[in-house]
Amino acid sequence: MRSEKFKILIVDDSEIIKDRVSEMLGELENVESVTKAGSFDEAVSVLSTAIPDILLLDINLPDKSGIDLLRHINENAWKMHVIMVSNQANSYYRSVCKKLGATDFVDKSADFDRLPQIISGLN
């Protein structure tokens, strides 16, 4: 069991999703902080100052894609758990994201409520 609490970054262009996830995860005992970003550029700005333990990442962002951000994370060798949270949950996107190092993939419309369980299971 992890003794330290997680720092989480949510990257999604939907304020409703960011607020819902933030509220959901803020109730977990193993979460220290939740930061939110709404675009690729905003996420890169946050990541340049502090690397979270967990990144919750949507595929569709207004400026670039979440897949672009996954590649950027790999290029910079930033170490974190990346959980894709998207409505684009087909096998193609799941495969691409796994190959790029995503820890898990959550379908917003089908298994969104699994997020607390997934977070609690990470080390």
For the stretch 87-110, pLDDT in tens is 988 899 999 999 999 999 999 988
pLDDT at 17: 94
Q: What is the pLDDT of residue 89?
A: 84
Taking the C-alpha atoms of residue 123 and residue 119, their distance in angstroms, rounded to an integer, is: 9
Domains in the chain: ranges and CATH: 6-120 (3.40.50.2300)
Q: Which SS3 state, helix, strand or coil, does residue 32 take?
A: strand
Sequence-ordered strand ranges (E) for 38-123: 54-57, 81-86, 104-107
Residues in the chain: 123
Q: Determine the residue type at 41.
A: D
106 to 95, 102, 115, 121: CA distances (angstroms): 13, 11, 8, 14
DSSP 112: G
Q: For residue range 27-50, what is the model confidence (pLDDT) as tens digits?
A: 899 999 999 999 999 999 999 999
Which pTM does this prediction carry? 0.94
| Residue 1 pLDDT class (50, 70, 90 cuts) | very low
Q: Is 37 helix (H, G, I), strand (E, B) or coil?
A: strand
Half-sphere exposure of 14 (CA within 13 A, CB side): 14
Q: What is the pLDDT of residue 72?
A: 97
